[in-house]
Amino acid sequence: MKIKRMLLLAVLLLVSFSLIAAHPDTVYGDELLSQGVSAGYNVGYDPKVGPAPFKQPNVYYDYPTVATVNGEWGANVFYGNDDNKIFDKILPVGSQWQVYGYTLRQDGWYYDVGGDMWLQADQAKVPVSDGYDALLNAIVSLGGKGLSTNDGYISILVRDEYGVHYKVGRWIYDYLDGSPMYQETLQYNVYYDGQVYAMGKAPRY
């Protein structure tokens, strides 16, 4: 029995290590998301991810995936995707829907589920295969609160006390006399199934 337990532990460690080794952007812990502030610039900022390209409003982005409804009461679906959109129905929690793309409107993000039907994105999650998927899940989960053009983001694969996941950092800043002024950094843990957990503010140093 003891040998079996040791073998099982070895297999679990090997699987965890293989998940980490497969991603060269892995860091251990959250030290790279601790904020270093110099006139609002972000030390360790990753230009490969950068300010989210999907933050451009009124632009359609192709994005074939499957969304799982995780809103508290389900997810709203609308007919049309403009100021004249019409509420159609509420999709049940846990149901899955083919997604063809997404867009950002004044009141938040929407997933295109076909037939000019649009799923309210902050009430669903999509699978995560890279940092961009993680970033999208984190941003859309904010709804209309994630629309500031002065926000900056970074997405890093980590292994910490919460397991293997992507850690998304959101830097919120504004401008004073033409120079960026840092306000605060918020952190989100994003898992492979797209589930997002708000982890509060990151420490400064």
Q: How many domains in the chain?
A: 1
Task: Tell me if 103 is assigned to some domain.
Answer: yes
Q: What are the backbone dihedrals phi and psi of residue 76, each rounded to the nearest 5 degrees, phi first?
A: -75, 140
Task: Tell me if 158 is assigned to some domain.
Answer: no
Task: Tell me if 142 is assigned to some domain.
Answer: no
Task: Tell me if 64 is assigned to some domain.
Answer: yes
Q: Which CATH number fits the domain that encloses residue 86?
A: 2.30.30
pLDDT band at 186 (very low <50, low <70, confident <90, very high): confident
What percent of the chain has pLDDT above 90? 33
**Of 83, 146, 72, 144, whose CA–CA distance to 118 is shortest?**
83
199 with 188: CB under 8 angstroms?
yes
Task: List pLDDT tens digits, range 12-62.
Answer: 333 333 333 334 443 333 333 333 333 333 333 343 433 444 567 788 989
Task: List pLDDT tens digits, range 153-182.
Answer: 777 888 888 888 888 887 776 666 766 565
Task: Tell me if 139 is assigned to some domain.
Answer: no
Q: Specify which residues 5 forms β-bridges with.
A: none
Q: How far is CA 163 from CA 17, 19, 29, 116, 127, in A?
A: 11, 11, 10, 38, 17
Structural domain containing residue 115: 56-125
3-state secondary structure the chain: CHHHHHHHHHHHHHHHHHHHHCCCCCEECCHHHCECEECCEECCCCCCCCCCHHHCCCCEEEEEEEEEECCCCCEEEEECCCCCCEEEEEECCCCEEEEEEEEEECCEEEEECCCCEEEEHHHEECCCCCHHHHHHHHHHCCHHHHCCCCEEEEEEEEEECCEEEEEEEEEEEEEECCEEEEEEEEEEEECCCCCEEEEEECCEC
Mean pLDDT, residues 190-203: 90
Please give the structure tokens belonging to residue 12. 């679990």
Q: What are the backbone dihedrals phi and psi of residue 31, each rounded to the nearest 5 degrees, phi first?
A: -65, -30
**Of 202, 30, 19, whose CA–CA distance to 128 is shortest?**
19
Task: Tell me if 69 is assigned to some domain.
Answer: yes
Task: List pLDDT tens digits, range 109-122.
Answer: 999 999 999 999 99
Task: Tell me if 113 is assigned to some domain.
Answer: yes
Task: Tell me if 118 is assigned to some domain.
Answer: yes
The type of residue at 46 is D
